[in-house]
């Protein structure tokens, strides 16, 4: 069965510092992978997605993610964090069972220090 693990529940970084949020997945074939961001009390917004091609994916708000098949990872990165990036981040993997269900990780809450 598909699964997604986000090992870090909370991460704190200083504004201007670089950021990497980890995501590991379990899936038998080439996965469809997503990163979403959620501000408090809001819905989730798609940051970026990977389904084939270049393993380095660019997204909105200056985020990027790299798909590494050998490590079953899809880590999210940003070179310089802004205070407005404080939010919860979710990694998700898409299934290929024909029902288009996504499996979400438990999320990583990012705190940004001024």
Binding site for other proteins (CB under 8 A): 9, 32, 34, 36, 41-46, 49, 51, 90, 94-96, 99-102, 104-107
User: For other proteins, which is the closer residue by CB, 18 or 96?
Assistant: 96
d(CA 58, CA 49): 8
User: For other proteins, which is the closer residue by CB, 10 or 82?
Assistant: 10
User: For other proteins, which is the closer residue by CB, 28 or 41?
Assistant: 41
Tell me the closest approach of the beta carbon of residue 110 to other proteins, in angstroms.
15
d(CA 97, CA 74): 21
Only one residue has tokens 């070179």, namely: 79
Tell me the closest approach of the beta carbon of residue 96 to other proteins, in angstroms.
8
Tell me the closest approach of the beta carbon of residue 99 to other proteins, in angstroms.
7
Instruction: Tell me how crowded residue 85 is: count the other CB atoms within 10 A of its CB.
Output: 19
d(CA 75, CA 68): 9
Question: What are residue 43's phi and psi, to 5 degrees?
Answer: -75, -175
Tell me the closest approach of the beta carbon of residue 102 to other proteins, in angstroms.
7
């Amino acid at each position: 069965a598909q699964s997604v693990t986000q090992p870090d529940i909370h991460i704190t970084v200083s504004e201007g510092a670089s950021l990497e949020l980890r995501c590991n997945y379990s899936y038998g074939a080439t996965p469809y992978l997503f990163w979403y961001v959620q501000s408090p009390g809001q819905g989730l917004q798609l940051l970026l997605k990977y389904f084939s091609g270049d393993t380095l994916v660019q997204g909105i708000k200056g985020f990027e993610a790299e798909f590494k098949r050998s490590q079953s990872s899809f880590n999210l990165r940003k070179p310089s964090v802004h205070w407005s990036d404080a939010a919860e981040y979710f990694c998700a993997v898409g299934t290929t069972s024909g029902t288009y269900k996504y499996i979400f990780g438990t999320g990583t809450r990012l705190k940004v220090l001024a």
